[in-house]
Amino acid sequence: MRYVAGHILGPDGFRHGHLGIERGAIVESGEGDPPQRPVLTGVITPSFINCHTHVADAHVRLDTSLSLEELVAPPDGLKHRQLGSMDDESLRASMRSSMDMMIRSGTSRFIDFREGGEQGSAALRSLRGPPHARIMGRPSALSYDKDEASRLLLNADGIGISAVSDWKAKDLEALAEQARGEGRPFALHVSESRREDIEAVLSLQPSFLVHMSSASDADMRRVADEGVTTVVCPRSNLFMGTVTPLARMVEAGMELALGTDNFMNGDGDMRAEMECMARLLRSQRADASHALSAAFDAPRKLLNLQSELSMAKGAPADLVAFEHQGSDPMCELLFRAGNGRRTALIRQ
Ligand SMILES: [Zn+2]
């Protein structure tokens, strides 16, 4: 048996203790020091689940002078033009490079909004994890074709589209209904840089939303009342020109999960994203510990993997160790700003 010891994050916060690991599972969980020398010490957390990525973007050449629309709006934004000119091999290499970045920073799973229609979803499906992909594919054009959607769902786990504003209402309703009919999740970006009609969004019965960074307080309360989780990407919002209104979101009662968004201007590092979220929450006079639940609890609820957070006997040992001798508050604002090197113990 191998032991890890230190500040262990569980469902009730951090505790000082140790875990014994055998064949990819936690077989012992105790207080204080382990009975033999641990292989890793530090801050021990479950591995990350990155709830929002676009992994094909790693090899897109960024132009920092462009606006959000000029960079990412379909079909002519910079990234769509560059992705469209990549052959299958280049596309997969770009995706693999994003996945490598994520595994190095302790991420075991990710939810990808996969552009490129059937080809894009098939390319990501062909890559082996970890990190393991939950693929939210989308049709190749901004229009509905039942047969195309059926073929898309052979490789994609669900549907993830750009925004209601990009689509004709009738087409989008048909697409969402087909996804629901096949028992697949349907999700979309909402109110990223400008406010969109939240009723039009909620009428699609989405499984989750992404952004809501330009939503009104009333929109936020509607989403909270409907119990729909929103994935926030604060570093991406900052880059694109918006400060995520996290305190207002928390105040409205929204359930927040964390993601890192595009790889052309991001590194997929969930610890850094979580730290950014904690700092923004604090600057907005809200409780910074919401960043921990957005990074660990909410993603597992989204994917129905709550047992992984338990850190109890029998749970899978999908763990990350950060070399920081943290003591709360919040392990000195989330592991002392990335100083600690990390080692992932992610099951293969
Ligand atoms: Zn996105």
pLDDT confidence of residue 202: 98
Ligand 1 centroid to Cα of residue 34, in Å, is 43
Record the pTM: 0.93
Mean of the pLDDT values across residues 213-221?
A: 98
Ligand 1 centroid to Cα of residue 54, in Å, is 6
Lowest mean pLDDT among 66-80, 130-144, 320-334: 320-334
What are 12-58's pLDDT values in tens digits?
888 899 999 998 889 999 998 999 999 888 888 999 999 999 999 88
- The domain spans of the chain are 2-46+306-345, 48-286
Ligand 1 centroid to Cα of residue 252, in Å, is 23
Ligand 1 centroid to Cα of residue 16, in Å, is 37
**For residue 306, is pLDDT > 80?**
no
Ligand 1 centroid to Cα of residue 236, in Å, is 9
pLDDT confidence of residue 74: 77
**For residue 285, is pLDDT > 70?**
yes
What are 126-149's pLDDT values in tens digits?
999 899 999 999 999 999 999 999
Domains 2-46+306-345 and 48-286 share a fold: no
pLDDT: which is higher, 342 or 296: 296
pLDDT confidence of residue 331: 74
Q: The domain 2-46+306-345: what is its CATH number?
A: 2.30.40.10
pLDDT: which is higher, 330 or 104: 104
Ligand 1 centroid to Cα of residue 149, in Å, is 20
Ligand 1 centroid to Cα of residue 70, in Å, is 14
Neighbours of 145 (CB within 10 A): 15
**For residue 348, is pLDDT > 50?**
no
Q: Please tell me the distance from the alpha carbon of residue 23 to that of residue 268, in angstroms, as a whole number.
A: 28
**For residue 341, is pLDDT > 70?**
no
Ligand 1 centroid to Cα of residue 53, in Å, is 6
Q: How many CA atoms lie less than 13 Å away from 288 in the CB half-sphere?
A: 16
Backbone angles phi, psi at 263, to 5 degrees: -90, -10
The overall average pLDDT reported for the chain is: 90
Ligand 1 centroid to Cα of residue 120, in Å, is 15
Give the strands of the sheet with 319-322, arranged side by side. Answer: 25-31, 13-22, 2-10, 40-46, 319-322, 342-345
Residue 262, token pair as written in the block? 């595009």
Say if residue 245 is preceded by a cis peptide, omega within 30 of 0: no
Ligand 1 centroid to Cα of residue 245, in Å, is 17
Ligand 1 centroid to Cα of residue 160, in Å, is 9
**Tell me, which fold does domain 48-286 have in CATH?**
TIM Barrel (3.20.20)
Work out the pLDDT band at 192, boundaries 50, 70, 90.
very high
Ligand 1 centroid to Cα of residue 67, in Å, is 15
Ligand 1 centroid to Cα of residue 161, in Å, is 9
Lowest mean pLDDT among 11-25, 154-168, 257-271: 11-25
Work out the pLDDT band at 172, boundaries 50, 70, 90.
very high
Ligand 1 centroid to Cα of residue 73, in Å, is 10
pLDDT confidence of residue 344: 61
Ligand 1 centroid to Cα of residue 7, in Å, is 33
Backbone angles phi, psi at 51, to 5 degrees: -85, -5
Q: Please tell me the distance from the alpha carbon of residue 171 to that of residue 144, in angstroms, as a whole number.
A: 5
